[in-house]
A and B are shown apart, each in its own frame.
Chain A
Amino acid sequence: MNMMLETRLLFKRKMLETLREPVWIVAGLSTPLLYLILFAPLLKGLNAQALNADRVIDVFVPGMLALFAFGTGTGEGWTVVWEVQNGVIERLRVTPASRLSFLLGPVLRDIVMFIVPSLIVIAVSTLFGFHVHFSGLFVLMILLSLLTAVVSATSISLGLILKDSGSLAAVVTGLQLPVTLLAGVLLPLDLGPEWLQIIAHFNPLYYVVNATRVLSEGIIFDGEVYLAFAVMIGLCIIVFSWATRVYRKVVA
């Protein structure tokens, strides 16, 4: 009960912080829109049959949303580095408030900052011919919110551990590119050779991206979807218990 209130207060703090810097909102939104405007037209020439879909854009948009969900979660680590250096984290840690709420405040903010712009991106996508299946999209947004939460908590923990924006950048970008490429965010990995697909099975994001494509077709009750939720919920539990422990220990 207390934790809910503390989480709400800390979420509000983070939300205010974000709304005061509209530049970041615009920058965040521009990534998926640029993909849509500058990259999606290249897909026109691809054979939709090879992708096992009616339209190439239907395969592309869910992957791009996954990419956006991932990217939205990465940012808080940098703020945390700065907050460690400014003593903000220390000051929070001497209060009796729950350690989990310190984590959930920014994570929930990141989820909101994923969902709201995503709706805009989806609306724009329809102009490019993207088919909207409401129930499927609804579940898809829940799945991708879990992804944002996992990435956000990871980024926060790395920030707390590394305490340096340079090293954080090295680790985060070092992870981001292989993880997203190996999930087939832009094009399905079915197109690739077998070795690539085998490696991909070790990547949690691979299951998420597969499920997003199923979900965006409007199919909810499907093995791919169950698998993705199982992977993300499991990962959430692991990452959140790790991140809470890191919060308990960190010292500037």
Chain B
Amino acid sequence: MSKAIEVAGLKKSFHNRKGKRMTVEAVRGVSLSVESGEIFGFLGPNGAGKTTTLRMLTTLLPIDEGKAVVAGFDLKKQQKEVRRSIGYVGQSGGADLAATGMENLILAGRLYGMGRKEAQKRADELAELLDIRELLPRLTKTYSGGQKRRLEVALGMVQTPKVLFLDEPTTGLDPQNRANLWEQIRRLRNAGTTIFLTTHYLDEADMLADRLAIMDYGLIVAQGTPNELKQQISNDVIRIKLKTEQLTDGDAIKKLLKSEPYIHEIRMEGDSIHLYVDDSAKAGPHVFALLERGNMEIDTISFSRPSLDDVFLKQTGRLLRDTGKGGVA
């Protein structure tokens, strides 16, 4: 079993009764494959269809069209087997706040068919793995956000799933808790679990995912390792910001730089210009010279590797941080 998830032509529409048979196509034909034992990032702005896709893959939503095999089982015909093989941590968490952490873990284990002792043993293992032992005797409603998240990840891990689905696991966590959770997710991967996680944080996808897919408007627009995706764009990016009074002259800048062969692509993004080049060390002096000849004064300039934001910009024509509810670095 080398493929943990295999999806082809997945579709889902929602019918809105209020708007006179308005149909919203949330997922419009998603195909992807996830290898066993990798962290697969599912990146996209809010409303791109990530959660809907995830809900279909976890048996929470029926599939309209397409084929999906999860952990070796057909999602349409073998729901029960799929449920036995996966773990799922939803966006809203799912810890039972009226119970203690330990009660939560043991009930979860027993619902997966474990005996009392087995469930207790597994709860102890997870307490160690996610570092939540001290919390477990307390009622869950007394937990902080980060503590609750860790319990919820533990809940998703109870039956030692082959594939663990995490829906925006770090949303709402402070930077320290985020880093902490990343570390724990890596540990789970190293222990052999395949992890499928959605996120709208670029840095999270970049740092954590072995491979990723970018989703926008219900479609996958790019798929690969973070490096592959970035290299498809160019090796380097030069970002230039001109002194403000020359901003209006965006077209002039484009015209000035367009004919240069070493520039693959020019993109204006707000008040800055992005030049995609093979080698910024070689291109840099040329660009300086051209701008000086054109009497354009540079405010700031930076040289860097392309980021996933550049990938997103190229694939969708806009920046991820413009589309979501913010917080994207």
Contact A86 B84 (CB under 8 A): no
The residue on A at minimum CB distance from B96 is: A88
Query: Bound state CA distance, A213 and B99, in angstroms?
Result: 41
- Closest beta carbon of chain A to B306's beta carbon, Å: 36
> At the interface, yes or no: A97 with Cβ under 8 Å from chain B?
yes
- B 97-123 contacts with A by CB, 8 A: 97-99, 103, 107-108, 110-113
- Counting chain B CB atoms within 10 Å of each CB, the highest count among A9, A16, A95, A97 belongs to A95
- Closest beta carbon of chain A to B154's beta carbon, Å: 12
Interface residue from A6, A88, A95 paired with B83 (Cβ < 8 Å): A95
Interface residue from B84, B91, B108 paired with A87 (Cβ < 8 Å): B91
Query: Which residues of A are found within 8 Å of B112, using beta-carbon distances?
Result: 95-96
Query: Bound state CA distance, A94 and B111, in angstroms?
Result: 10
- Closest beta carbon of chain B to A131's beta carbon, Å: 41
Binary contact readout A57-88 vs B (1 if CB under 8 angstroms, 0 otherwise): 00000000000000000000000000101111
Contact B83 A94 (CB under 8 A): yes
- B 62-119 contacts with A by CB, 8 A: 80, 83-84, 86-88, 90-99, 103, 107-108, 110-113
Contact B90 A95 (CB under 8 A): no
> At the interface, yes or no: A251 with Cβ under 8 Å from chain B?
yes
Query: Which residues of B are found within 8 Å of A85, using beta-carbon distances?
Result: 92
With A86-B97, A90-B60 in contact, is A95–B111 under 8 Å at CB? yes
With A16-B99, A85-B92, A90-B94 in contact, is A9–B107 under 8 Å at CB? yes
Interface residues on B, range: 20 to 34
Contact A87 B110 (CB under 8 A): no
> At the interface, yes or no: B133 with Cβ under 8 Å from chain A?
no
With A86-B93, A96-B83, A251-B55 in contact, is A9–B111 under 8 Å at CB? yes
> At the interface, yes or no: B184 with Cβ under 8 Å from chain A?
no
Interface residue from B80, B88, B103 paired with A96 (Cβ < 8 Å): B80
Contact A13 B107 (CB under 8 A): yes
Interface residue from A16, A20, A252 paired with B92 (Cβ < 8 Å): A252
A interface residue numbers (CB < 8 A to B): 2, 5-6, 9-10, 13, 16-17, 20-21, 83, 85-88, 90-97, 251-252
